[in-house]
Amino acid sequence: MFNQSSLGTFGSTSTPSTANPMKDFEVVQPPDDSVSSLAFSPSTLPQNFLIAGSWDNNVRCWEIEQNGTSVPKSMQSCGGPVLDVAWSDDGTKVFMAGCDKQAKMWDLASNQVVQVAMHDAPIKTCHWIKAPNYSCLMTGSWDKTLKFWDTRSPTPMMSINLPERCYCADVDFPMAVVGTAGKQIIVYQLEGKPQEYKKLDSPLKYQHRCVAIFRDKKKSPTGYALGSVEGRVAIQYVNPANPKDNFTFKCHRSNGTPNGYQDIYAVNDIAFHPVHGTLATVGADGSFSFWDKDARTKLKPSELMEQPISRCAFNHNGQIFAYAVSYDWSKGHEFYNTQKKNYIFLRPCYDELKPRTSS
């Protein structure tokens, strides 16, 4: 449906085994270019819908059925490469933002798209905020602003200046975290209205690349995991009871020193399991790993894919782990091969992400 002419005949059966070393379900009719963003529909919808934004300017939507098959549903285009996508809390809308400096709202029911946000530079992140007293779209841009948009007004409800370009962000009401260039981290609290809560020194020595908020045992957001280009993730509590609660760990590095030195890859994305509170990281090395941050152990490593894993996502009840195998530019344009197919794989993950028990 998306691509009848070019790759339409490329079914999951013809996928070479080297491309799918974990033998997971392959999403049919994947994007034509790298996957920049992935998101599952919220729990307000009975089915699972997966949306993916791509460097081919399009956002695609599939329905993921219980048996692992994916059914292409629809597609929308943006005026440039898409950098982030998000769902509204009720699952009726999809937001997409990207290099055309705009964010758009896609009403799935009517299939209408309207522009809802505008920046002076490409928009790197978009997140839907559902507060008791307001709802808005938060966009973070390379124009060093964070803006909040009522979707019916051409002007932002609020604009917050960032110290640097926005590189990554996450929202879990009432917390928002933004990681910027220059290794800065700003935590916002969203209750009442968004406002800066804390500006923090980075626990990492290298460029921030991804951030994900985690919750405590009572399911309230309490901290975040921050990934850098230097194969390292920092687990940070906003208000740590004990300074030792914060720690970093290494990941996505080559084993041993094959060329005389160890290759260290960027952490491209982090996602927390919605039920277990464990996390997944994906990296430019082409692997994903599951971790238990409380036991400080790795639960499962994956085999290496043929290409980097650019993004990942859990569905709302934590049964499905989706990861996108596509080039992330980590080796520059020289290593960009348009002939390589982009994949999105789906993995039943509920048991693999169970925390390590003491028994």
Partner 1 sequence: MGRKKKKLSKPWCWYCNREFEDEKILIQHQKAKHFKCHICHKKLYTGPGLSIHCMQVHKETIDKVPNSLPNRSNIDIEIYGMEGIPPNDLREHERQKQGSRPANDSGSDEDEPATKRPKPEGLLGNAPGAMPGVPGMVPGMMPPPGMPPGMSMGPMMQMGPMGPHFMHPGMPMMPPHMQQMMSGQSGPPKPLFPSAVPTSSPNGPTPPVVGADFKPISSATISAPPTTNTPGPSSDSSKVPTIATTGAASKIIHPPEDISLEEIRARNPKYSRNLPSKSDDNSSSSSSVTAAEQLAIATSVAQHQVAAAAAAVAVAQHHKQQQDAMNHHNAAVAAAMMHHHHQQQQQHQRGFPVRMGGPPLGMMAAQMRPHQMLPGPPQLIGGPLMRPPPIGMPPGMIGVPPGMVYGAPMFPAGPVLMQPRFR
* Residues 37-56 close enough to bind partner 1 by CB under 8 A: 44-47, 55-56
- Give, as ranges, the residues between 62 and 91 that touch partner 1 (CB under 8 A): 63, 71, 73-81, 83, 89-91
- Is residue 220 part of the contact set for partner 1 (CB under 8 A)? yes
Euclidean distance between CA atoms 45 and 88, whole angstroms: 11
* Closest to 137 measured CA to CA, from 91, 88, 77, 187: 88
Least Å distance, CB 351 to partner 1, is 20
Nearer to partner 1, 265 or 345 (CB): 265
How far apart (Å, rounded) are the C-alpha atoms in residues 355 and 298?
Answer: 10
DSSP per residue over 174-200, as a string? TEEEEEETTTEEEEEE-SSS-EEEEEE
Q: Which two tokens stand for residue 4?
A: 């009848």
Residue among 20 and 58 whose Cβ is closer to partner 1 = 58
DSSP-based three-state secondary structure for 334: helix
Distance CA 301, CA 197 (A): 35
Span 308-327, contacts to partner 1 by CB under 8 A: none
352 binds partner 1 (CB under 8 A): no
* C-alpha to C-alpha distance for 146 and 38, rounded to whole angstroms: 21
Nearest CB to partner 1, comparing residues 24 and 138: 138
Tell me which stretch binds partner 1 (CB under 8 A): 15-23, 313-321, 328-336, 341-349.
328-336
Please tell me what DSSP assigns to residue 335.
Answer: G
Asked whether position 229 contacts partner 1 by CB under 8 A, the answer is: yes
Chain residues 1-20 in contact with partner 1, contact rule CB under 8 A: 1-5
Residue 353, amino acid: L
12 phi/psi in degrees, rounded to 5: -70, -25
Q: Which of 17, 255, 257, 339 binds partner 1 (CB under 8 A)?
A: 257
Binding mask 284-303 for partner 1 (x = CB under 8 A): xx-----x-xxxxxx-----
Tokens of 95: 């937001």
233-252 residues in contact with partner 1 (CB under 8 A) are: 235, 237-239, 241-242, 244-250
Which residues 148-207 are close enough to bind partner 1 by CB under 8 A?
Answer: 150-155, 157-158, 163-165, 167, 172-175, 181-182, 184, 189, 191-193, 195-202, 206-207
